[in-house]
A and B are shown apart, each in its own frame.
Chain A
């Protein structure tokens, strides 16, 4: 690495710094996309280590490795790190790299804001992780931070609250950037209904983020003031109500899970047509379905609260509204299958991940439908059935979409083809071990195992053992992914502009890798 000085003699960008300062001061959407993706991968491995510690403890009945207090810190932090540190930044990384390229724009609307949106993340992550060292350790109230338990927590809770605030600011700024870019900087001829679906999913996701991140900020600020400034939002003795926290949190929380999946739908909608050599089926339906899912996501939040004691009318409303989301989601799945139907399909690694996504995310969707039925949810809420459900949609869903996107676009970004054999191996290992880890958890929940427990009754032992083995297999397989990515960055078969025979879209008209600055003159889109 060259020494960092203002006007270094780096490559062709004579006015740009090199070395570390390049990365610290960059306003280039490609650089910032790369920063987000590496950050998210580091957080993914961090959250993964916590998960493996959890599964190591749960390998057998009894307490072997961690005390219950530390176990609860691990489950809490695993959730916070994966949601806010891994999944969300990964999708923002894709937005940064791909949105300008796909709409024919030279960069994002606010390049300096873009830099700051990223650089808020490492300090927030450090604040969150160092909360383990606070007296009493990290917060152990679950990623959902319910009061009054979260009010009992030590200073690790306050550190987490500040980290969440910083992460929220980053997301809001990023979303403003994305919306402004998409609405104002499309190339001439690219109407909204001609945009690639990935761009649509990010446009909608950005609106969701702006709507709900402030709500989360409100919820955790009320926690902060209840903890330190004598308010009683969540304390009945002071006229408040613990359930208020749940309403505010889940009003954020439900749209949040769609924030974590819609860009994944977008990526899959890019991959399937490419490897079927056929246009996406039902483009307008796909746009309307995505928008419907986003709008519906605002009126279903209390399906996370079916057991709080709300009246039957409340339970029924939220049951019906939640079941409704199955309709546009099903429409999307059917449209993907119709895209493949009578295409000319090939099964390279991105396609494998997209197919795995459709197959496994749909399973997660079905268990979500089961959970939407209130009487069934009464049995299954707070059990391992829920844990299975959300890992199917977030890991086999969002994470597989992210992997698919990386394999799809890595040749474009680096100029080299990745090792196809190793990529396929990464897919199959992930697929098999993921299912080993999480499929059996459905049975654990049905049989009566609660979640967030470090120990369990003997009838749950066999499936826990299987789940733990699967988890370790899955975790280790991700090291293979790291190797594939590093190997591809370092070299490999030269990638053409189009890379994939069935690829369509502006990004595939550029060289691989694209120049530092692209589309300084906008292309005309017919």
Chain B
């Protein structure tokens, strides 16, 4: 019985080592490496796994042999030897030498992973609860990257898409064949930025900046996830990187920059524009569905006490200044309610507050203009 299990386990191990045997849904090995570092890690793992399997077979071969041949029930009589210094020395020294053999290539890879010098470009990555922000320091563009898998799929009311939980609105776009240095930090708690295909994982620590680097070999879309428990939606803040050839990358940068100047021009115009109740509510509904629904729920009832109800809530139906303050500047009592002025425009905030005060059964009837929000920034 034990031997059958041992054999099947060994078989599984060897199959994993083969590497090629990776049915998409029952993948046995690391993801396909797309950078030199990821390649080195993949190979390191294969070699070490093989060494472990060999040692395992030798040691447990001996143990199962003993279990088979040296059993009382087959008549074996116990010898009484109980020590041998030579053998102790041998089986101390040999493993030690094997470890040195493993440590040498590993050391080379550690040093290579740490070498972030002479990058071709630098991107700042910031972890938030619960999304990422990317700022291209050389190009002066920046944006948030949020999960786009609809709540209906997560709550099992709609069939799950192909990239369930691994899709975002704005992917990180990088050129292939260029050394990209990432500066990683966080806004609130510790997160970790991880793209398995690149072999990159770096903790995002609030108040500190750490760096890492990658150079993607071929164009494609690569997906990763946050790799440090950061609160309730730790499993819902993926990373998507689109590696494209240099021409496409330059086009994308140009697009982003023109979008940016359009948005700031629009925002500047917006601040003084006066919107109608319907315009504000429809803008607000969009914002709510993307940003607020995760905590306050689609019906506005939240999950008290951590996520208060907006339906008939004290703030949502109370004085408008209080409602503006908590959305713009965050909650002092509950850090999960962040200062949305850092992530949403004045128009978006004005819209969502108006929407909340006039939905979920609330009929306050008032509305907020973007210039009221601009005035409320502390």
* Residue ranges of A at the interface with B (Cβ–Cβ < 8 Å): 61-64, 67-69, 72, 135-136, 140-142, 146, 148-149, 152, 154, 235-237, 241-243, 276-285, 307-309, 311-312, 315-316, 319-320, 323-324, 326-327, 330-331, 333-334, 337-347, 355, 358-359, 362-363, 366, 369-370, 373-376, 378-379, 381-383, 428, 435, 439, 443, 446-448, 450-459, 461-463, 502
Interface bits B194-222 vs A (CB < 8 Å: 1, else 0): 10100111110111101100000000000
Contact residue among B41, B76, B190, B335 (Cβ-Cβ distance under 8 Å from A379): B41
B92 interface contact, C-beta 8 A: yes
The residue in chain A whose Cβ has the minimal distance to the Cβ of B161 is A458
Inter-chain contacts of B202 with A (CB < 8 A)? 307, 309
Residue of A nearest to B112 (CB): A375
Cβ-based interface call for B192 (8 A): yes
Asked if residues A323 and B99 are in contact (CB atoms below 8 Å), the reply is yes
Q: Is B79 a contact of A241 with CB atoms below 8 Å?
A: no
Q: Does B156 contact A (CB under 8 A)?
A: yes
Distance of A452 Cα from B77 Cα, bound (Å): 51
Given contacts A62-B154, A243-B205, contact A375 B70 (CB under 8 A): no
Closest 4 CB pairs of A and B: A236-B207, A453-B235, A309-B210, A344-B72
- Can you give 22 contacting A-B residue pairs, CB < 8 Å? A62-B153, A62-B154, A68-B232, A69-B232, A136-B306, A140-B232, A241-B208, A242-B205, A243-B205, A281-B83, A307-B203, A327-B92, A342-B76, A345-B66, A345-B70, A366-B55, A375-B199, A378-B199, A382-B228, A439-B12, A450-B226, A453-B235
* B interface bracket (residues with beta carbon within 8 Å of A): 35 or more
Contact B199 A154 (CB under 8 A): no
B48 touches A149 (CB 8 A): no
With A and B bound together, what is the CA distance between A451 and B162 in angstroms?
21
Contact of A148 (CB < 8 Å), options: B88, B188, B234: B188
Taking a contact as CB atoms under 8 Å apart, the answer to whether B106 and A374 are in contact is yes
Do the beta carbons of A141 and B66 come within 8 Å of each other? no
Q: Given A72-B229, A343-B79, verify A455-B165 contact (CB < 8 Å).
A: yes
With a CB–CB cut-off of 8 A, which chain A residues contact B230? 149
A458 and B165 alpha carbons, distance in the complex (Å): 9
Return chain B residues, CB-CB under 8 Å to A142. Answer: 229
A457 touching B88, Cβ below 8 Å: no
Chain B residues, Cβ within 8 Å of A435:
5
Q: Which residues of B contact A370 (CB under 8 A)?
A: 45, 48-49, 52
Q: How far is the CA of A109 from the CA of B305 in the complex (A)?
A: 50
A sample of 17 more A-B contacts (CB under 8 A), given A345-B72, A447-B27, is A140-B232, A146-B228, A278-B79, A309-B203, A311-B114, A337-B63, A340-B66, A345-B71, A359-B2, A374-B109, A376-B45, A379-B38, A448-B196, A448-B225, A450-B235, A452-B235, A457-B166
A346 CB to closest chain B CB, in angstroms?
A: 5
Tell me which residues across on chain A come within 8 A of B303, comparing CB atoms.
67, 69
Beta-carbon contacts under 8 Å, B319-370 to A: 335-336
Contact of B80 among A279, A311, A454 (CB under 8 A): A279
Q: Does B103 contact A (CB under 8 A)?
A: yes
Instruction: State how many angstroms separate the Cβ of B194 from the closest Cβ of chain A.
Output: 8
CA distance A349 to B29 in the complex (A): 35
A208 and B9 CA atoms in complex are apart in Å by 35
Q: A141-B229, A148-B206, A333-B59 are in contact. Are A323 and B78 (CB under 8 A)?
A: no
Q: Please, which residues of chain B bring their CB within 8 A of the CB of A355?
A: 2, 63, 67
Assess A382 versus B227: contact at CB under 8 Å? Given A279-B82, A307-B192: yes
Q: How far is the CA of A316 from the CA of B107 in the complex (A)?
A: 7
Cα distance, A6 to B210, chains bound together (Å): 66
Bound-complex Cα distance A434 to B188 (A): 38
B48 in complex: contacting residue of A236, A373, A455, CB < 8 Å:
A373
Instruction: Select which of B70, B208, B305 is within 8 A of A343 by beta carbon.
Output: B70
B376 within 8 Å of A (CB atoms): no
A502, B72: Cα distance in complex, Å: 11
The answer for the CA separation of A342 and B66 in the assembled complex, in Å, is 7
B 164-179 binary contact with A (CB < 8 Å = 1; else 0):
1110000000000000
Does more than half of chain B's interface fall in helix, strand or loop, or is it mixed? mixed
Chain B residue with the shortest CB-CB distance to A144: B229
In the bound complex, CA of A311 to CA of B113 (Å): 11
Which chain B residue has the least Cβ–Cβ distance from A154?
A: B306
In the complex, whether B144 has a CB less than 8 A from a CB of chain A is: no
The answer to whether B205 and A308 have CB atoms under 8 Å apart is yes
With both chains docked as a complex, state the minimum distance between the C-beta of B254 and any C-beta of chain A, in angstroms. Answer: 33
Q: A359-B60, A375-B110 are in contact. Are A323 and B25 (CB under 8 A)?
A: no
The distance in angstroms between the C-alpha atoms of A358 and B38, with both chains bound, is 33
Do A334 and B45 touch across chains, with their CB atoms under 8 A apart?
no
Q: Is the CB of A375 within 8 A of B41?
A: yes
Specify the chain A residue showing the minimal Cβ separation from B27.
Answer: A447
Cα–Cα distance between A316 and B25 once the two chains are bound (Å): 35
* Contact, CB under 8 Å: A381 / B78: no
- B91–A330 touching, CB < 8 Å: yes
Structural contact, A341 and B227, CB atoms closer than 8 A = no
Partner of B31, one of A284, A285, A448, A451: A448
Q: A362 contacts which chain B residues (CB < 8 A)?
A: 56, 59-60
Cα-based distance from A282 to B88 in the complex (angstroms): 8
Do A340 and B87 touch across chains, with their CB atoms under 8 A apart?
no
CB-CB under 8 A from B163, the residues of chain A are 457
Contact partner of B28 (CB less than 8 A), chosen from A366, A443, A450, is: A443
Residues of A within 8 A of B40 (CB): 375
Binary per-residue interface labels of chain B (90-113) against chain A in the complex, 1 for a CB within 8 Å, 0 otherwise:
011001100100110011011101
Q: Does B139 contact A (CB under 8 A)?
A: no
Contact assessment for A462 and B26 in the assembled complex, using a CB-CB cutoff below 8 Å: yes
